[in-house]
Amino acid sequence: MKKFLFILIFICSCQNAFAFNIVYPKKNEVTINSPSTFFIGSAKHKDKFTINGESVNIHHSGGFAYVVPLKEGKNEFVISDGKDTKTYVITRPIAVSGGVYTPPKLVEYEGEKQFLTVVDNAPLRTSPIDSGINRMSHFEKDIPLTVDGEKSSFYRVVLGKNKKAWISKNNVKAFDGYSNSLALVSGYDYLDSPDYFTFVFHLDKKVPFEIVEGETFYLKFYNVKDCADNTYVFEFPYAEAAGTKKIVGYSGRFDGYDFIFKVRKFPKTDEKSPLKDMKIAVDAGHGGKESGAIGCCGDKEKDITLAISRYLKEELQKRGAKVIMTRNNDSYVGLKDRIDIANENDAMFLISIHGNALPDNADPNKHRGTSIYFYYNQAKLLAANVLISMNKQLGTQNDNIRQGSLALVRNTNALSILIEVAYLINPEDNAMLIDTKFQKKCAKAIADGLEEFFKN
Ligand SMILES: [Zn+2]
């Protein structure tokens, strides 16, 4: 008990030592390679607070964001509130001139080489760059690939007669154990069940595949014989099967040489309570050792996301939904584990809650509002409905829906969206985010947006 009291006094005295607090930059001697950066923090003595003699605009919550230009070399900043002073030294590395950049060259092989994927979830890309949005497909382990060239850290993969794609050298190994002869698709079986359309395709070996979702929704197997362009194309019968172009979720994977393609049926919902019995995964961003962004007043993103997620759970349960939390306390959960939790519980929605931050070269005072990320088309309409509801009910600015290659929205089994509720490092937005009333309203607005999705 005595020890606890001692720690408490120690913490209090730490916070009282200064009447202002800087949360970013995190240390008073840092290297930042950018033409500008910003100080984020809070101050009590609003009128006397200055950075290098310039007065700083302090929000009524006490928070501030102040942009400073950086010259190459050392930049010194003296921060003062008339009583206390702190000095920050930010070093911007000096650019080295004269170096000539040589772009990586494509090397085309004489013949074709055989490779095998060695990791699960290996992304196949449309270009030899690790850029996120250029993903075509994700392969499990042991998918054989024919490769006919390389560029920087990628191999060029042969897909049928006319198509090429790229895979990271780290995700494959050379493999001579099979021939590059074409595969045979001998047909498929269709299994109907209350929740899924399931198609089981019979092949005589594993091949690279792609699932493309758009106006039409199709599955392609590459390097297959007796097909145009050595490509087997199966178009999902939207009209007959689903009677709607809304896809709730899907998965495709090999089971031996059979390929199981499962598409979730759009649920028949009760008009008055569309979320009744719906399985919804709520994902509070970050947690444990991973704080996420730090707000002006020192609040951590992981605490704000957990608070909103708990209110969202209550709000959804009130409407009859079955909620699965990927974390319910301040624990660290990996990105893959979060997706696994949603899928193991057969969640139809995956809603990930975050607060936004910005890179050094941006101005936090000029960025406000709610943005929602989706990756697959299936979730676009959901993102739009939730954003409209949040902007309307919370009065947050419209920071748009965005297609983004974030791990949590790349879950195809559910309608997956990631909500950046507002900017933690914008003083105005931050004041809202840490307000309990706002957090509760936010949960209601998200739940209403989900219901709107079914009405539309
Ligand atoms: Zn985050």
Q: Which residue has the higher pLDDT, 425 or 97?
A: 425
CA of 282 to the centre of ligand 1 (A): 14
CB atoms within 10 A of CB 83: 11
Q: How far is the CA of 256 from the centre of ligand 1 (A)?
A: 38
Q: What is the mean pLDDT of the chain?
A: 91
Average pLDDT (163-169) is 97
pLDDT at 240: 64
How far apart (Å, rounded) are the C-alpha atoms in residues 349 and 55?
47
Amino acid at 386: V
Q: How far is the CA of 307 from the centre of ligand 1 (A)?
A: 14
**What's the pLDDT at 4?**
46
Report for 44-58, 84-98, 345-359: range of highest mean pLDDT: 345-359
* Distance of CA 335 from the midpoint of ligand 1 (Å): 12
- Among 57-71, 235-249, 372-386, the least confident range: 235-249
Kindly state the percentage of the chain with pLDDT values over 70: 93
Across residues 295-314, what is the average pLDDT?
97
Q: What is the mean pLDDT of residues 388-395?
A: 97
pTM above threshold 0.85: yes
Q: How far is the CA of 346 from the centre of ligand 1 (A)?
A: 24
Q: Quote the ligand 1 centre to 324 CA distance (angstroms).
A: 19
Q: What is the pLDDT of residue 282?
A: 98
Q: Where are the domains of the chain?
A: 19-92, 107-174, 185-264, 279-455
Mean pLDDT of 411-435: 96
Q: Residue 3 pLDDT more than 60?
A: no
For 179, list phi and psi in degrees, rounded to 5.
Answer: -90, 160
The confidence score (pLDDT) of residue 409 equals 94
pLDDT of 176 reads 79
CB neighbours of 270 closer than 8 A, spacing ≥ 6? 276
Residue type present at position 351? I
What was the pLDDT predicted at 7? 43
Distance 448 CA to ligand 1 centre (A): 23
| Domain spanning 185-264: CATH 1.10.10 | no
Q: Per CATH, the architecture of 107-174 is what?
A: Roll (2.30)
Q: If you average pLDDT over residues 433-453, what whole number do you get?
A: 97
What is the whole-number distance in angstroms between the Cα of residue 23 and the centre of ligand 1?
16
4-16: per-residue pLDDT in tens?
444 443 333 334 4
- Give per-residue pLDDT as tens, 359-385: 999 999 999 999 999 998 889 999 999
Pick the CATH number of 19-92 from 3.20.20.80, 2.60.40.10, 3.90.1300.10, 3.40.50.2300: 2.60.40.10
- Whole-number Å distance, alpha carbon 369 to ligand 1 midpoint, is 15
CA separation for the pair 134, 342 (Å, rounded): 25
- 301 CA distance to ligand 1 centroid (A)? 7
Domains 19-92 and 185-264 share a fold: yes
Q: What is the 3-state secondary structure (H, E, C) of the chain?
A: CHHHHHHHHHHHHHHHHCCEEEEECCCCEEECCCCEEEEEEEECCCCCCEECCEECCCCCCCEEEEEEECCCEEEEEEEECCCCEEEEEEEECCCCCCCCCCCCCEEEEEEEEEEEECCCCEEEECCCCCCCCCEEEEECCCCEEEEEEEECCEEEEEECCCEEEEEEHHHEEECCCCCCCCECEEEEEEEECCCEEEEEEEECCCCCEEEEECCCEEEEEECECCCHHHEEEEECCHHHHHCCCCCCCEEEEEECCEEEEEEECCCCCCCCCCCCCCEEEEEECCECCECCCECCCCCEHHHHHHHHHHHHHHHHHHCCCEEEECCCCCCCCCHHHHHHHHHHCCCCEEEEEEEECCCCCCCHHHCCCEEEEECCHHHHHHHHHHHHHHHHHHCCCEEEEEECCCHHHHCCCCEEEEEEEEECCCHHHHHHHCCHHHHHHHHHHHHHHHHHHHHC
Given a cut of 60, whether residue 242 has pLDDT beyond it is no
Confidence label for 1 from pLDDT (cuts 50, 70 and 90) = very low
CA-to-CA distance for 392 and 387, rounded, in angstroms? Answer: 8
pLDDT (average), residues 210-219: 88
- Ion ligand 1 nearby residues (CB, 5 A): 285, 292, 354
Task: Give the Å distance between the CA of 51 and the centre of ligand 1.
Answer: 28
Distance 286 CA to ligand 1 centre (A): 6
Residue 244: pLDDT band (50, 70, 90) is low
pLDDT at 229 > cutoff 70: yes
How far does the centroid of ligand 1 lie from the alpha carbon of residue 228, in Å? 45
CATH of domain 279-455: 3.40.630.40
* 445 CA → ligand 1 middle, Å: 20
